[in-house]
Amino acid sequence: MSNNHSRKSFIPQADGRALDFIKICAAVLMVIDHMNYMLFKLSVPEMNLAGRAVFPLFAYGVAMGAQRAGLAKVPVYAGKLLFTAVAVEAIVQLARPTDEVNVIFTLAAGALCAGLALRAKDWQILLCYAVAVASVAVKVPMEFGLPGVALPSALLLVMQGRRLYIVPLLILLFSINLGGISDLIKGMPAASLLSAAVLGSALTVAFFASVMPYMLLLLSRSLPQTGRYLSRYFLQVFYPGHMVALWVIGMFYFK
């Protein structure tokens, strides 16, 4: 993929070292977010905000992976992600017990959804997005829920020049960050829930969930679209590895 092709897209299309740069940024921000959750018990709002950028960046990586795989091989790509999700689930639950399956399950489903979107009609895709957004009203036992599953497909469609999906993409980003907004306004009296403080909280989350990832994507345009910074399976090893490391640190130093 050439840099020229990348520059023609509303959302830059990264490969090679450029895509690895995005993955490295996501990994660093993920560690910051998980340190706040596992070591500091969500007591540092700034670390939580930094974590808002993580899932959109990983969803972007999945969108690029689905595009490279093509229609015929997207199920294989999704299957590899699913295998990783199953393989690391026990480790993740040991380090950070939760009633949700780990985020790689969401990304695996997102890869499959992206492949289906490439052959679906607009009304079918938009209907699925509407269902995904409506599902935030119920508990789906996976990180970021159905909006998270839908996000890679929306990113992929916008990358391919289908501007119809820019607004759905923004709505999906908002939907997966409702929890982050809720964390910021927790404790405010009911009378202030429509105040400037709530609006400011929502805009702050929006910046870290959309503007910050987009700025990182723009930075990636200056990097080569060939070669690698990371080994092929770096993130598959790094994801459970950093969780175990934080769990051990928490046991010995943050009791």
Handedness of CA 174, 141, 239, 82 (dihedral sign): negative
Q: Given this model, what pLDDT does residue 31 score?
A: 97
Reference 61, options 152, 172, 145; nearest CA is: 152
Does the pLDDT of residue 235 top 80, yes or no? yes
CB atoms within 10 A of CB 186: 9
Give the whole-angstrom CA distance, residue 198 versus residue 182. 9
152 Cβ neighbours under 8 A, 6+ residues apart: 59, 60, 62, 63, 66, 107, 110, 111, 113, 114
CB 55 within 8 A of CB 27: no
Does the pLDDT of residue 4 top 70, yes or no? no
The H-assigned helical ranges of 8-53 are 16-38, 45-51
DSSP-assigned states of every residue in 176-213: HTHHHHHHHHTT--GGGTTSHHHHHHHHHHHIIIIIHH
Stretch 21-38: mean pLDDT, rounded? Answer: 96
Give the whole-angstrom CA distance, residue 59 versus residue 155. 8
Stretch 127-137: mean pLDDT, rounded? Answer: 93
Q: What is the residue range of 11's domain? A: 3-253
pLDDT band for position 19 (cuts 50, 70, 90)? very high
Range from 10-19, 135-144, 177-186 carrying the lowest mean pLDDT: 177-186
Which has more pLDDT, 1 or 199?
A: 199
pLDDT band for position 1 (cuts 50, 70, 90)? very low
Range from 35-49, 76-90, 140-154, 198-212 carrying the lowest mean pLDDT: 198-212
DSSP-based helix, strand, coil % in the chain, nearest 5? 75, 0, 25
Q: What is the pLDDT of residues 31-64, one digit of tens each?
A: 999 999 999 988 888 898 899 999 999 999 999 9
pLDDT band for position 71 (cuts 50, 70, 90)? confident
The domain tally of the chain equals: 1
pTM: 0.90
pLDDT cut 90: percent of the chain above it: 66
Q: What is the pLDDT of residues 146-189, one digit of tens each?
A: 999 999 999 999 999 898 999 999 999 988 987 655 555 555 55
Does the pLDDT of residue 15 top 60, yes or no? yes
CB atoms within 10 A of CB 122: 12
Q: Given this model, what pLDDT does residue 3 score?
A: 43
pLDDT cut 70: percent of the chain above it: 87
Does the pLDDT of residue 193 top 70, yes or no? no
Q: What angle do CA 51, 56, 60 make, to 5 degrees?
A: 140
- Cα→Cα distances 200→112, 113, 143, 178, Å: 35, 33, 25, 14
Q: Given this model, what pLDDT does residue 254 score?
A: 74
Stretch 2-11: mean pLDDT, rounded? Answer: 54
Bridge partners, 142 (sequence order) = 101
Q: What is the pLDDT of residues 90-127, one digit of tens each?
A: 999 999 889 999 999 999 999 999 999 999 999 999 99
